[in-house]
Chain A
Amino acid sequence: MSEQEIKNLEAIFDLRIANDEKIEPKDWMPEKYRQTHIRQISQHAHSEIVGMLPEGNWITRAPSLRRKVALLAKVQDEAGHGLYLYSACETLGVSREDLYEQLHSGAAKYSSIFNYPTITWADMGAIGWLVDGAAIINQVPLTATSYGPYARAMVRVCKEESFHQRQGFEIMMTLANGTPEQKEMAQDALNRWWWPSLMMLGPTDAASVHTEQSMKWKLKRKTNDELRQQFVDQTVPQAELIGLTIPDPNLKWNEETKRYDFGELDWEEFWQVVKGHGPCNKKRISDRVNAWENGKWVRDAAMAYAEKQEAKKLEQAI
């Protein structure tokens, strides 16, 4: 294909997206579109399955049977979401195994928030409330993104995710209304998860490299800073409702903008964790690698069995 031909195709492609048409797997697409989508969808999938680990850490210790089943169901949902997203990614011509390899080698990124440790039960509340809250803000617009399989996966994810944030908030609320020790546990969790949750919405617009292109392809509808503001505005009243304090001395209502002003984020910490130096980066990856490597003989066995059965069937047919 000549350069001019590609340019023409790209122009038609851009027009289709501008007209809100969906792109489907076998459609022609610019190589950059494919690569960007593989990167974003797989990052998203990795975040789901790495995200299982910090919460999985509390399944065996959940304080009541009701909490235990709810937490299990939630962590299981995350496996499901990872699965839907890997499947969407596979329509772009890359296998789940390749994507795992990228995760395991450190080549692929996932949401940095999961590199923080879950050290008390209240962290289950804080993650559901804040981390899932921030995730939903990110995810809802993606149900209308341009790539069909991704948009469909996100519809399913968002539908299932609606209980996650409510579960988290309920845990926090119960603690906040509980004994002084419980309330302290809740406040401590909020203190630790607040800033990482804000960081979860991505670097500042000034430092964000992908925004413009992503907007065009509807991978993004709002900038990171806009999303962050939305998150702060919706979360502060929720904290007040249950009597917890947002750990930001600079947080205050701005009568003029009708929004909350808030303090500067510690971006040095953000980049440190992104680059692999968070408290749990190594542990998270080694857990994933172990699960995959220890499972190899199991997957091989199933494949060998399937092939033997297939051969038997053929033999009987002859």
Chain B
Amino acid sequence: MKNWPLWEVFIRSKNGLEHRHCGSLHASDATMALENARDVYTRRNEGVSIWVVPSAQITASDPDDSSELFEPAKDKAYRHPTFYELPEELKHM
């Protein structure tokens, strides 16, 4: 028989915040993955909501492609507010 597959666990620590990846675990199905996530990752009151995703379902970018994926964004300074030169007297902008 196959081993229990791996799941990734995401926890929202409180309403208003996003779910954040907090770790992984093994479970035979989604119901058990949720229960296990509750038992393993929220023992100290760490969460108000849980997502579980089969690890195999995650598509990840390849580190070898990092330069073409992410480098081009580095020199687009005009996307950031500090790029624009405005008079110092100007407030609240």
Interface residues of B in 7-34 (CB under 8 A from A): 23-26, 28-29, 32
List residues 281-309 of chain A with CB under 8 A from any CB of chain B.
299-300, 302-306, 309
- A residues less than 8 Å from B62 (CB atoms): 26
| Chain A residues closer than 8 Å to B87, beta-carbon distance | none
| Contact, CB under 8 Å: A309 / B3 | no
Residues of B in contact, count (CB < 8 Å): 19
Cβ-based interface call for A117 (8 A): no
Residues in chain B near residue A27, CB distance under 8 A: 63
Q: Are B28 and A28 in contact (CB under 8 A)?
A: no
Q: Is the CB of B43 within 8 A of A80?
A: yes
Q: Which of B24, B25, B29, B40 contacts A306 (CB 8 A)?
A: B29
Residue in contact with B28 in the complex, picked from A80, A153, A156, A299, CB distance below 8 Å: A299
Contact with B along A23-43 (1 / 0, CB 8 A): 010111000000000000000
Q: How far is the CB of A146 from chain B (nearest CB, A)?
A: 15
B24–A87 contact, CB under 8 A? yes
B25:A83 contact, CB within 8 angstroms: yes
B2 CB-CB contact with A under 8 Å: yes
A95 on interface, CB distance cutoff 8 Å? yes
Residues of B within 8 A of A80 (CB): 40, 43
On chain B, the residues within 8 Å of A76 by CB distance are 43
Which of chain B's residues have a CB closer than 8 A to the CB of A104? none
Q: Bound complex: CA of A248 vs CA of B1, how far in Å? A: 54
Query: For the complex, what is the distance from the CA of A302 to the CA of B26, rounded to whole Å?
Result: 12
Residue of A nearest to B26 (CB): A96
Question: B73 near A: Cβ within 8 Å?
Answer: no
Give min CB distance, A92 to chain B, whole Å: 13
Q: A299-B3, A306-B32 are in contact. List 17 more A-B contacts (CB 8 A).
A: A26-B60, A26-B63, A28-B64, A80-B40, A84-B23, A87-B25, A90-B6, A95-B3, A156-B23, A160-B44, A302-B4, A302-B29, A302-B32, A303-B3, A303-B28, A305-B28, A305-B29
Give 13 CB contacts A-B under 8 Å.
A26-B63, A27-B63, A28-B64, A83-B40, A84-B23, A90-B24, A156-B23, A299-B3, A303-B1, A303-B3, A303-B28, A305-B29, A306-B32
Query: Hey, which bits of chain A sit against chain B, CB under 8 A?
Result: 24, 26-28, 76, 80, 83-84, 87, 90, 95-97, 153, 156, 160, 299-300, 302-306, 309-310
3 A-B pairs closest in CB distance: A302-B28, A306-B29, A300-B1
